[in-house]
Amino acid sequence: MASPNVSLLLVLVSLMCSAAFSSGESTYATGLSENFYDTSCPQAASIVDAFVTKYLQKDRNFAGAFNRLQFHDCWVGGCDGSVLLNSTATNQAEREAHVNFGLRGVAEIDEIKAALEYACPGVVSCADILIMAARDATVKVGGPTWTVATGRRDGVRSTDLMADTNLPFPVLNFSGLVANFAAKGFNAREMITLSGAHTIGRSHCNGILPHLYNFTGKDDVTDTDPAMDKEFSVLLKTLCPQGNRTNTIFIDSTANHFDRLYYKNVLGGRGVFITDSALITDPGSKKVVQSFAKRSSTFFSEFAAAMVKMGDLGVLTGTQGEIRKTCQFVN
């Protein structure tokens, strides 16, 4: 449990953030703009949107995949499309990291890139495609929308160590989550907000097993988080037998629809990951979760603002980086 000072900070941050988010103001990193492709590739946004629609018609869970891709890209060296790069004979790329197990959507982003290369060769970055796809997919499954500023360029460096060092593992406790997000400039409330992305998508059992069989380090069938709803834990153990890393389950009972049910599930002991359950182990954090679970909450608007802020992390602009021809390889 976090210290009383951390809890007090959460309450204060909650009040300040509510005022800030209600203003509707957005700022972008230097070099990004809302009309970046208006002249060079005016059809860029519509092409991305059309492909996202196609993928969601096939599998609505791509919404969760695209959200995860943005987070896993931006959290590691900034929003530069590095998560999309393939490994080489001399380098293990980010996608090979433990924390990126089961990452989806890379081939789909490359398909969008191919269409954009046909329409506007050498113009639209893979980094921007990721950001646009995450927004479009969120909207199409009932979530909020936000304005996407573009102009990012693609990075050329990607290692598994970078990902495993920067991304939060699903076994972090509350203080560990706060520290991880603080390192990227996000406060505790924003961490709780972005955790709400778990309202959509699915996960391999790999990240869930520690919550069910190794919560205190015993590594046996009884070592389950005692705060987890008993019936829910029995269900998860059926779906994720001990040692099975590859089965997939929905993270949320309405995983194909962006809503507030995630927070209600967490409050009811039905958080899939240890990081989900951790959100109610701190009194201040629990109050934020309770507020987001309400129909009248500001979760949607705060989520949109947090995604915009995330999209500003470590961007390459101007002559930095490159515009990849294909997203999985440097030029």
Confirm or deny that 225 is annotated as ligand binding. no
For the annotated catalytic residues, the residue numbers are: 72
| The pLDDT value given to residue 159 | 97
User: Which residues share a beta bridge with 91?
Assistant: 88
| The pLDDT value given to residue 16 | 44
CATH number at residue 274: 1.10.520.10
Burial of 315 (0-12, 13-18, 19+ CB in 10 A): buried
Q: Is residue 68 part of a domain?
A: yes
Total domain count, the chain? 1
Confirm or deny that 226 is annotated as ligand binding. no
Q: Is residue 289 part of a domain?
A: yes
Q: Is residue 236 part of a domain?
A: no
The SS3 assignment for 101 reads coil
Q: Is residue 92 part of a domain?
A: yes
144 closest CA partner among 258, 34, 59:
258
Confirm or deny that 96 is annotated as ligand binding. no
Cα–Cα distance, 288 to 188 (Å, whole number): 10
Cα–Cα distance, 95 to 329 (Å, whole number): 13
How many C-beta atoms lie closer than 10 Å to residue 63's C-beta?
A: 31
| The pLDDT value given to residue 14 | 46
Confirm or deny that 229 is annotated as ligand binding. no
Give per-residue burial for 233-244: e unless 16+ CB within 10 Å, then b: beebbeebeeee
Transcribe 5-53 into DSSP letters: HHHHHHHHHHHHHHHHHHT------TT-BTTTTTTT-TTHHHHHHHHHH
Q: Is residue 131 part of a domain?
A: yes
| The pLDDT value given to residue 9 | 46
Q: Is residue 237 part of a domain?
A: no
Burial of 264 (0-12, 13-18, 19+ CB in 10 A): middle
pLDDT along the chain (331 residues), means of 10: 47 42 59 96 98 96 95 98 96 96 95 98 98 98 97 97 96 96 98 96 91 92 94 95 92 89 96 96 97 94 97 97 97 95
325 closest CA partner among 136, 181, 113:
113
177 closest CA partner among 68, 65, 282:
282
Q: Is residue 22 part of a domain?
A: no
Q: Is residue 38 part of a domain?
A: no
Transcribe 160-210 into DSSP letters: HHHHHHHSPPTT--HHHHHHHHHTTT--HHHHHHHHGGGGS-EEEGGGTHH
Structural domain boundaries, residue 115: 43-201+251-312
CA distances 69 to 1, 251, 290, Å, are 30, 16, 27
| The pLDDT value given to residue 5 | 52
Confirm or deny that 136 is annotated as ligand binding. no
The SS3 assignment for 218 reads coil
Confirm or deny that 176 is annotated as ligand binding. no
Confirm or deny that 282 is annotated as ligand binding. no
Angle between helices 126-140 and 299-310 (to 10 degrees): 170
